[in-house]
């Protein structure tokens, strides 16, 4: 048997037209936008509540924004944080900041003050671009951070003219109006993006850092994965190679997967910009809005997570919408149930396949072939120029999944010890326990990190527990993931109440809501007189999880 078939059995399952290896140009991420704007200037780039921007428009706005950042003193290597949902503003700020040589630090708009403060301090961000509705949380922590300039934008800044005028009436009626103070260090996004300015003369090395994406890594303490321009550009080209039916300048994607997440950033945003694909931007998941967008704009590509596909499958008035334009969907961030896959394919007539990736790998590493052989329950096979292996397998062939490829991060931001734990001799140790079958298809068996995966988002028990311990009635606490039919997993907290104190499940959950993003808040709370511990006093989450499985 030759070396290729021995070491990489998955290569024989690549679809015709998918190369085993690719040639990667030495480019920075904004080059994708430059090239597309030159080749497809009149092609629609974004559709946002009915208003469109062409790729020429998007490019010009990004160039102006880059010039504005330079006027504000942003230099190559400075960090610019983005507190934005999927919107034209995100794309303009993302590519504009990179054109200025800055490092982009995306934030989940659901973050509460404690989470915002940690990420701003750790990244050293000096400029923050925020939706006005999110401004109060940023303002509350700003004095304790390095942020010196704030740029605010309203969600309706890029609405169609009539809707832009009507939106403030709706916002006032619903209590969603935020007053932004007038100050020299607070700027309006539209004023910066629409003022003509020469682009800064910045030369970007492909090995320069492009993005800091925060993840719990191996310990649950949020840290910034350092992704270079080369990491991101290579992963985009790898993903493009997997879609053999792509039609540059003609296809449409529903972009509801958030751009602040590595999956949405690569699979919905950078992928689309590199292929002149029209992006229908949806700022937050609302099922009727997603279905209406598919029915109206006839997209071919629809990246998502299992909870989205499950919600569509279960929608009672599904017959009102025509979803038959969809041809290819990659499901990521959580395991894809077979029944969800088959039902969605029957509804749409398109292909839905499971993939796998991590923040640390930009993120895509494995995907099932879209039109070729696929295996239920499998994350698929490594994409071009990506190698994977099982480290120290047991008798059942299960061990830690390790990955190497051009998309693997440079390390964790200012965390050399954490970096050394996961990057060894060019291989990334994922912390996921997996096995590989004889055909080279990989299966995730368990999570070494005890991470909870809910609705496509990572929740780390330690972070939840730190908040639980802040409750005055809580003596001890632990959290685990429990099965959830809709989100895959939900957070369950186990609590021991202090002697002489009282607390209810609602008390604990309400407290967590004040200190955690909504998806991290425990859905269930169980009170106990004691928690299982090791001989040295360590609380054993594993035992709690085993007890929960036995009970269910």
pLDDT tens-place string over residues 378-415: 999 999 999 999 999 988 898 999 999 999 999 999 99
Q: Which residue is listed with tokens 């632990």?
A: 478
Extract the tokens encoding 230. Answer: 């080369």
3-state secondary structure of 531: coil
Q: At what angle do helices 30-39 and 88-99 cross, to 10 degrees?
A: 110
Return the closest-CA partner of residue 85 out of 214, 211, 229, 264.
264
d(CA 251, CA 36): 14
Q: For residue 428, what pLDDT is reported?
A: 97
CA-angle at 134, arms to 129 and 140, nearest 5° = 95
The sign of the CA dihedral 314, 317, 321, 322 is: positive
What is residue 301's DSSP assignment?
A: B
Q: For residue 394, what pLDDT is reported?
A: 86
Class of the CATH domain delimited by 55-204:
alpha beta
d(CA 368, CA 441): 8
d(CA 256, CA 253): 9
Q: What is the pLDDT of residues 241-256, one digit of tens each?
A: 999 989 999 999 999 9
The separation between CA 410 and the C-alpha centre of its own chain, rounded to angstroms, equals 18
Supply φ then ψ for residue 102, to 5 degrees.
-80, 165
d(CA 299, CA 287): 16
Q: Which residue ranges make up each domain of the chain? A: 55-204, 452-551
d(CA 262, CA 115): 18
Query: Cα separations (Å) of 436 from 14, 84, 443?
Result: 16, 39, 6
d(CA 526, CA 509): 11
The sign of the CA dihedral 207, 212, 218, 219 is: positive
DSSP E strands, 420-487: 423-424, 427-436, 442-447, 452-454, 457-459, 474-484
375-414: burial string, b at 16+ Cβ within 10 Å, e else = beebbbbbbbbbebbbeeeeeeebbbbbbbbbbbbbbbbe
3-state secondary structure of 311: helix
Extract the tokens encoding 31. Answer: 């080059």
- Rg of the chain (C-alpha set): 23
Answer yes or no: are the C-beta atoms of 326 and 348 closer than 8 Å: yes
Half-sphere exposure of 320 (CA within 13 A, CB side): 11
Q: For residue 4, what pLDDT is reported?
A: 41
Task: Tell me if domain 55-204 and domain 452-551 are identical in fold.
Answer: no
Q: Which residue is listed with tokens 């039902």?
A: 343
Answer yes or no: are the C-beta atoms of 462 and 452 closer than 8 Å: no
Q: At what angle do helices 30-39 and 229-242 cross, to 10 degrees?
A: 50
Answer yes or no: are the C-beta atoms of 356 and 444 closer than 8 Å: yes
What tens-digit pLDDT sequence spans the chain (552 residues)? 333 444 899 999 999 999 999 999 999 999 999 999 999 999 999 999 999 999 999 999 999 999 999 999 999 999 999 999 999 999 999 999 999 999 999 999 989 999 999 999 999 999 999 999 999 999 999 999 999 999 999 999 999 999 888 888 887 888 778 889 999 999 999 999 888 878 889 999 999 999 999 986 445 568 999 999 999 999 999 999 999 989 999 999 999 999 999 999 999 999 999 999 999 999 999 999 999 999 999 999 999 988 889 889 888 899 999 999 999 999 987 778 888 899 999 999 999 999 999 999 999 999 999 999 999 889 999 999 999 999 999 888 989 999 999 999 999 999 999 999 999 999 999 988 899 999 999 998 866 667 788 988 878 787 898 899 889 999 889 999 999 988 899 999 999 998 889 999 999 999 999 999 999 999 999 999 999 986 555 788 889 999 998 887
Classified by CATH at the fold level, domain 452-551 comes out as GMP Synthetase; Chain A, domain 3 (3.30.300)
d(CA 72, CA 66): 10
3-state secondary structure of 511: helix
Residue 46 gets the label, from left (phi > 0), alpha (psi -120 to 50) or beta, of beta
Return the closest-CA partner of residue 61 out of 101, 31, 88, 43.
88
Half-sphere exposure of 536 (CA within 13 A, CB side): 1
Supply φ then ψ for residue 503, to 5 degrees.
-155, 150
The sign of the CA dihedral 415, 418, 424, 427 is: negative
206-242: burial string, b at 16+ Cβ within 10 Å, e else = bebbbbbbbbbbbebebbbbbbbbbbbbbbbbbbbbb
**How many CB atoms are located within 10 Å of the residue 469 CB?**
12
pTM given for the model: 0.86
């Amino acid at each position: 048997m030759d070396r290729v078939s021995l070491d990489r059995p998955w290569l024989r399952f690549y679809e015709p037209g998918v190369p085993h290896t690719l040639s990667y140009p030495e480019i920075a991420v904004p080059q994708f936008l430059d090239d597309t704007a030159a080749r497809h200037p009149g092609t629609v780039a974004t559709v946002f509540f009915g208003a469109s921007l062409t790729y020429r428009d998007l490019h010009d706005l990004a160039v102006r924004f880059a010039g504005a950042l330079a006027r504000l003193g942003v230099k190559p290597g400075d960090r610019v944080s983005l507190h934005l949902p999927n919107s034209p503003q995100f794309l303009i700020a993302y590519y504009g900041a990179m054109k200025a040589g800055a490092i982009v630090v995306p934030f989940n708009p659901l973050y509460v003050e404690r989470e915002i403060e940690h990420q701003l301090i750790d990244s050293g961000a000096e400029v923050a671009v925020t939706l006005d509705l999110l401004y109060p949380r940023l303002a509350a922590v700003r004095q304790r951070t390095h942020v010196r300039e704030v740029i605010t934008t309203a969600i309706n800044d890029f609405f169609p003219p009539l809707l832009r005028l009507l939106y403030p009436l709706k916002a006032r009626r619903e209590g969603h109006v935020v007053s932004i103070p007038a100050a020299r260090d607070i700027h309006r996004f539209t004023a910066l993006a629409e003022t003509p300015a020469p682009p800064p003369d910045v030369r970007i090395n492909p090995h320069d850092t492009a993005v800091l994406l925060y993840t719990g890594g191996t310990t649950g303490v949020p840290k910034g994965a350092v992704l270079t321009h080369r990491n991101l550009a290579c992963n985009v080209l790898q993903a493009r190679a997997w879609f053999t039916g792509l039609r540059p300048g003609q296809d449409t994607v529903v972009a509801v997967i958030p751009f602040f997440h590595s999956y949405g950033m690569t699979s919905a945003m950078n992928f689309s910009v590199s292929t002149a694909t029209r992006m229908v931007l949806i700022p937050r998941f609302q099922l009727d809005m997603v279905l209406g967008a598919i029915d109206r704009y006839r997209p071919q590509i629809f990246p998502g997570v299992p909870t989205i596909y499950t919600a569509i499958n279960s929608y009672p008035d599904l017959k009102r919408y025509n979803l038959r334009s969809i041809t290819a969907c990659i499901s990521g961030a959580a395991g894809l149930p077979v029944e969800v896959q088959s039902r969605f394919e029957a509804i749409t007539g398109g292909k839905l396949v499971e993939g796998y990736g991590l923040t640390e790998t930009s993120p895509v590493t494995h995907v099932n072939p879209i039109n070729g052989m696929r295996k239920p329950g499998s994350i698929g096979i490594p994409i071009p120029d990506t190698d994977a292996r099982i480290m120290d397998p047991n008798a059942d062939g299960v061990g830690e999944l390790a990955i190497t490829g051009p998309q693997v991060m440079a390390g964790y931001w200012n965390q050399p010890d954490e970096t050394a734990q996961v990057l060894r001799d060019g291989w990334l140790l994922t912390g996921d326990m997996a096995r590989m079958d004889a055909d080279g298809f990989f299966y995730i068996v368990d999570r070494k990190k005890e991470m909870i995966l809910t609705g496509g988002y990572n929740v780390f028990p330690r972070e939840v527990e730190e908040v639980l311990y802040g409750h005055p009635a809580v003596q001890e606490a632990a959290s685990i993931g429990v099965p959830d039919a809709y989100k895959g997993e939900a957070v369950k907290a186990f609590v021991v109440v202090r002697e002489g104190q009282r607390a209810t499940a609602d008390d604990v959950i309400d407290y967590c809501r004040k200190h955690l993003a909504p998806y991290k808040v425990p859905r269930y709370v169980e009170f106990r007189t004691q928690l299982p511990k090791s001989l040295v006093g360590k609380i054993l989450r594993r035992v709690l999880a085993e007890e929960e499985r036995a009970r269910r």
